[in-house]
C-alpha cells in the first residue's frame, strides 16, 4: 500500500535512517549506513560519543555490553581499542554458519567514526542530510559539542545550507552548539509531554522539536501544540505503516526509522520491504 497525502496532511516527510538501516543491519556500522543509502534514505541519523583520545564515534550506549560483549565505557577507550572490536556479530550471530554467504568486508562491521560517516555522505552522488545526536550525561560535558562543531567546520558544514542538524535531549548541549555554530539547525528531543510547557519558553524560535512516536501515540494533541508554536516536528522511531500514517496525519516533516526502505515504499511506492509492513 502507498500512503496518499491528503489536504489535511500535505507534508511528505523526509525519511531518515535511524542508526542506519538498523532493522536488518548492525546499528551505527558503515554497513548499516550504506544499506540505508542504497535504499534511498534522504537522511542518516547517528548518536555520537567521545573516546578517551578525543574522537567522536557513532555509538548509542555508554558502554559496549550490548554490541561487543564488553563492559568498558566508550569514554575510557582510545579509538584504536574500539577499531579492533567486532560490533556487528551480535545482530546475526549465526552468519558464520552460512556457507553460501558472500565474504564480507570487515570494515563495514567496525566502530564508525563520525568523520568517516560525514565523508561517506559528502562523497555520495546526491544530497544526504545528517541528524547527529549528542549523548548526555557524559564525563566530557561540553567537549562533545566543541569537537562536533570543529568537525563540521572541517567540512564547511557549520554555515547556512549545511546538511547537518544537531539533536539532543539536553537543552544545555543544544545551546552550546547554538553559540558556536548559530547557523546549524537544532532539534530539541522530547520523550515526556510534561517537559513541553517548560521547553517551549526556552528553545529558539527556529528550533525543530523531536518527540518520540510512543509519546505521539498517547498524546497526538502534543504535535498540534508544537505546531502552534511554529516548530516543525521530526519523529523517532517510526517503523510501521500505522505509525507512519499517524505522522502524516500530524504533519511531521521527518520520520526517523530503522526501516527506511519500508518507509519509502509506503510513501512513494519505491522498492522496499512491503512484506514485513505489519
* C-alpha to C-alpha distances, 255 to 97, 103, 131, 237, nearest whole angstrom: 36, 33, 11, 7
What sections of the chain are H helices per DSSP?
A: 30-39, 65-68, 79-83, 114-123, 143-155, 171-180, 196-199, 213-218, 221-228, 241-250, 260-268
d(CA 237, CA 21): 12
**Residues in Cβ contact with 266 at an 8 Å cutoff, skipping those fewer than 6 apart:** 1, 2, 3, 241, 244, 272, 274, 277
**Would you call 154 helix, strand, or coil by DSSP?**
helix
**Which residues, at least 6 apart from 156, have a Cβ–Cβ distance to it below 8 Å?**
none
Residue 115 CB-density burial (10 A; 0-12 exposed, 13-18 middle, 19+ buried):
middle
60 is a catalytic site residue: yes
Find the catalytic residue in 18, 55, 231, 265. 18
The rounded distance, in Å, linking the Cα atoms of 31 and 112 is 10
Residue of 55, 60, 136, 265 marked catalytic: 60
**Contact criterion met (CB below 8 Å) for 209 and 231:** yes
Q: In whole angstroms, what is the distance from residue 83 CA to residue 93 CA? A: 19
- Candidates 172, 110, 99; CA nearest to 138 is 172
> Could you list the active site residues?
18, 60
Amino acid at each position: 500500500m502507498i500512503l496518499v497525502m491528503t489536504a489535511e496532511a500535505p507534508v511528505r516527510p523526509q525519511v531518515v535512517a535511524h542508526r542506519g538501516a538498523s532493522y536488518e543491519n548492525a546499528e551505527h556500522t558503515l554497513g548499516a549506513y550504506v544499506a540505508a543509502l542504497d535504499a534511498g534514505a534522504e537522511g542518516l541519523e547517528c548518536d555520537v560519543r567521545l573516546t578517551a583520545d578525543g574522537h567522536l564515534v557513532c555509538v548509542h550506549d555508554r558502554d559496549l555490553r550490548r554490541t561487543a560483549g564488553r563492559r568498558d565505557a566508550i569514554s575510557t577507550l582510545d579509538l584504536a581499542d574500539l577499531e579492533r572490536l567486532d560490533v556487528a556479530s551480535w545482530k546475526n550471530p549465526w552468519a558464520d554458519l552460512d556457507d553460501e554467504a558472500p565474504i564480507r568486508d570487515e570494515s563495514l562491521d567496525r566502530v564508525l567514526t563520525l568523520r568517516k560517516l560525514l565523508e561517506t555522505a559528502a562523497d555520495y552522488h546526491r544530497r544526504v542530510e545528517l541528524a547527529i545526536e549528542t549523548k548526555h550525561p557524559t564525563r566530557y560535558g561540553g567537549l562533545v559539542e566543541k569537537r562536533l562543531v570543529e568537525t563540521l567546520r572541517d567540512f564547511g558544514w557549520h554555515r547556512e545550507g549545511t546538511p547537518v542538524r544537531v539533536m539532543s535531549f539536553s537543552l544545555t548541549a543544544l545551546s552550546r552548539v547554538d553559540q558556536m555554530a548559530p547557523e546549524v539547525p537544532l532539534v530539541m528531543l522530547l520523550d515526556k509531554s510534561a517537559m513541553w510547557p517548560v521547553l517551549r519558553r526556552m528553545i529558539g524560535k527556529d528550533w525543530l522539536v523531536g518527540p518520540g512516536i510512543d509519546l505521539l501515540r498517547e498524546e497526538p494533541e502534543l504535535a498540534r501544540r508544537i505546531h502552534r508554536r511554529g516548530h516543525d516536528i521530526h519523529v523517532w522511531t517510526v517503523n510501521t505503516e500505522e505509525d507512519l500514517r499517524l505522522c502524516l496525519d500530524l504533519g511531521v516533516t521527518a520520520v526517523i526509522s530503522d526501516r527506511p526502505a519500508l518507509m519509502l515504499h509506503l510513501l512513494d511506492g519505491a522498492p522496499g520491504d512491503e512484506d514485513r509492513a505489519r
